[in-house]
Amino acid sequence: MIAPRRLVAPVNEFARYLRTETVGGMVLLGATAIALIWANSPWSGAYTAMRETVVGPAALHLDLTLAQWATDGLLAIFFYVVGLELKRELVIGELSTVRQALLPVAAALGGMVVPAGIALAVGWGAPGMDQAWAIPVATDIAFALGVLALAGSALPVTARVFLLGLAVADDLGAIAVIAFLFSDGLQLLALLGGALAAALYWYLQRRRVRAWWIYVPLGVATWVAIHEAGIHATIAGVLLGLLTRVKADPGEEYAPALRLEHRLQPWSAGLCVPVFALFAAGVPVGADALREVFTTPVPLAVMSGLLFGKIIGILGFAALAIRITPACRPRGLSWRDMAAVSMLGGVGFTVSLLIAELSLADVPEVLDPAKAAVLLASAAASLIGAAMLVRRGRVHSALEDDPDPAG
C-alpha cells in the first residue's frame, strides 16, 4: 500500500499560504495586464467576443457567457477556499475567541462602513450610486497578503496575523453584502434544494465520509440550486466551506478543511482568480476613458472609498476598539506599522470587481469607469502600502541592529 503524501504541518501552513498567495498575486497581476492590453488593442473585438461567448445547457438556465462562468463558477471555488479559511479562523484560529476577534473584526467593520460612507458622500445622487457604494467595502485577501509578503517581511509576524484576521472578517462582510444586496427573484423550490444538498454535505462531514466522488457531485448540485434560486452562485462555495469540519479527530492527522485548503488553494490563486481577472479587468484606459474616471461621480466615489476610506476606517475603528474594549494592539506593532498594513485594505481588486459587475449590471455606461477606478485605486494602494511597509521594515531592522537608541 502506498503511503499518502504527507501534508505540511499546520504550523507551517501559514507560511505556505503566504508563499502561494505571493505567486498567485503575481499571476493575478499578469492576467490583469493581459486583459487591459488585449481590451485596448486592435484585437479588442476578439476580447469582447470571447467574453460574450455563450456555453452551457439552456434547459438548466446555465447558458451563460464565458465571463459569467468565470464570475459564477470559478469564483465559487475561490469563495469555497475563503469559506474554509473563515471556518478555520472562527473555530480554532485568530477569530476563535471574543478577545482575539475584537480587533480584526472592529477594523474590518471600519474598513467597510467608512469607505461606503465616503463613497456615498462623493457620489450622492449619481446613477448607479444606490448600489455602487458597496464596491469599496471589499479587500482582496490574496493580493493584500501577497504585497505584505513581498514588502513587509521585516515586520513582526503579528502584522501578517492582523491583516489575515482583518481580511477574513472583511470577506465575511463582503459575502453578506453579495448575499443580501445582489439576490433577486428568489425561487423557493430551488433554494430548498440547495439547502437540502448543503445539509447532506454537512451530514456526510459529521459521519466522517471522505469519498470525493460523493462530494464533487453534491457540491455541483448545491451550486446549481443556489444559482437557480436567484442567489449569487459564489455563496454556494462559502456555504460549503463553512460546513466543512475543521477539527481533527483523535488519530486523524489533519482535518478535512486543512486538507482541502492545501489542495485547492493553489488552484484558486493560480487559476480561478486570474481567469476571472482576465474576463473582468479588460476595460478601456485611453485618454477619454481615464478622463471619465477622474471626472464622473461613481468612479471618484470608488477611488475615494478604497484609497482614503479604508485606511481611515481600519485605523479609526481599531483605535476605538483598543480604547473601549479588552482588545490590544498586536505585539511589536506601532501605530505607523498598523497604518502601513491598513493601507493594504484599499486593495479591493477581485472582490471589488465582482461587486462592481453585480451592482452596475443595469447601468452599463458606468460599469467600465467603475472597474477602471477599482484597478487604479488597488494599484495605488498596493504601491503606497508597499512603500510604507518597506519604510517600516527598515525601522524594525535598525532597531534589531541597535536595540538601544541611545547606544
Q: Report how far apart, in Å, the C-alpha atoms of 194 and of each of 53, 80, 223, 229, 358 are.
A: 28, 15, 7, 8, 21
pLDDT of residue 401: 66
- Whole-number pLDDT of residue 21: 63
Give the angle 311-317-318 at the CA atoms, nearest 5°: 85
Query: Residue 195: which of 170, 167, 226 has the closest Cα?
Result: 226
CA separation for the pair 63, 34 (Å, rounded) = 26
Coil, helix or strand for 64?
strand
**Residue 90, SS3 per DSSP:** helix
Torsional sign, CA 15, 135, 302, 322: negative
Grid coordinates belonging to 113: 462602513
- According to the model, what pLDDT value does residue 350 have? 86
At residue 11, the pLDDT reads 41
pLDDT in tens, the chain (407 residues): 333 444 444 444 544 554 456 677 788 889 999 999 999 999 999 999 999 999 999 888 889 999 999 999 999 998 899 889 888 888 887 777 888 789 999 999 999 999 999 999 999 999 999 999 999 998 887 788 778 888 888 888 888 888 888 887 887 788 888 888 887 667 889 999 999 999 999 999 999 998 999 999 999 999 999 999 988 888 899 899 999 999 999 888 889 999 998 888 888 888 898 999 999 999 888 888 889 999 999 999 999 999 999 999 999 999 999 999 998 888 889 999 999 999 999 999 888 999 999 999 888 889 999 999 999 999 999 999 999 999 999 998 887 766 554 44
User: Rounded CA gap, 26 and 335, in Å?
Assistant: 29
- Rounded CA gap, 344 and 220, in Å? 34
15, three cell numbers: 507560511
| Residues 74/229, Cβ–Cβ less than 8 Å | no
Return the bridge partners of 64, or none. 55
Do residues 137 and 115 lie in contact, with contact meaning Cβ atoms separated by under 8 Å? yes
Domains and CATH numbers, the chain: 13-182+232-398 (1.20.1530.10)
Determine how many CB atoms are found less than 10 A away from the CB of residue 212: 11
Q: What is the CA angle 111-112-118, rounded to 5? A: 90
pLDDT in tens, 240-260: 999 999 999 988 888 999 999
